[in-house]
Amino acid sequence: NRYRPPNFITVRRELHGMGFHGRAAASKPYITKCNAKRRMQWCKARRHWTLEHDESRFSIWQSDGRVWVSLVPVKGTLNASAYQNILDNSMLPTLWEQFGAGPFIFQHDCAPVHKARSIKTWMTESGVDELDWPAQSPDRNPIEHLWDELERRPRARPSRPTSMCDLTNALLEEWSKIPVNTLLNLVDSLPRRVEAVIAAKG
């Protein structure tokens, strides 16, 4: 009898049964030497961020279990004007309500809309300090994982959204269902992210 090689489906089924699964390699953004150096400097400067008060020692990164977040839908393209509107009417009132008059340190990435001159002016006039954030650093930003989670959830619903209105409502509903522990775990992951950047030398 001539040997007949097994077909692809049979091989794949057997491999899956043995615990082997094919995965596409995750794409990683190219990081320039300059940005790698800045990332390294940023992480080293904040590696041991702590706040000492009397005999107590608290991690700046650590969450206290209180989480206040809201999702603000944006119609169309997010430009500087729309972003400032979110900061003015959603972000700042929430900070005042939950934390009093400040001072605040606000983190956003290096997207062009975040670095617009009008936004810089707004931050200064509103008394909000920006956390210095090197470019090409989504791996240090826990919110990126939250966006991934939010993107997956509507796809897993029994009936997928078929209109922009349906999608907006689905996102708002799924956002409210994300467990608080998910948010806390992401906040608590910051020290590990900082150490990973240092270990990778930027």
Q: Which amino acid is at 5?
A: P
Across all residues in the chain, what is the average pLDDT? Answer: 72
Domain that holds residue 59: 37-199
Across 16-25, 57-66, 190-199, least confident range: 57-66
Structure confidence by residue, pLDDT tens digits, 143-179: 778 888 888 888 888 887 788 788 888 888 888 888 8
In a domain, 169, yes or no: yes
Does 139 have pLDDT greater than 70? Answer: no
In a domain, 31, yes or no: no
- pLDDT for the residue 119: 92
In a domain, 30, yes or no: no
CB 151 within 8 A of CB 167: no
Mean pLDDT of 15-26: 54
In a domain, 2, yes or no: no
- pLDDT for the residue 170: 86
In a domain, 56, yes or no: yes
Across 26-40, 102-116, 146-160, least confident range: 26-40
Question: Which long-range contacts link 143-148 to residues 24+ away (Cβ below 8 Å)?
Answer: 143/186, 145/186, 146/178, 146/182, 146/183, 146/186
Q: Is the pTM of this model over 0.75?
A: no
- CATH number of the domain residue 95 falls in: 3.30.420.10
51 DSSP 8-state letter: E
- pLDDT for the residue 121: 93
In a domain, 62, yes or no: yes
Angle between helical axes of 190-199 and 180-188 (0-180°, round to 10): 30
26 DSSP 8-state letter: P
In a domain, 140, yes or no: yes
Domain count, the chain: 1
Under the banding of pLDDT at 50, 70 and 90, the label for residue 67 is very low
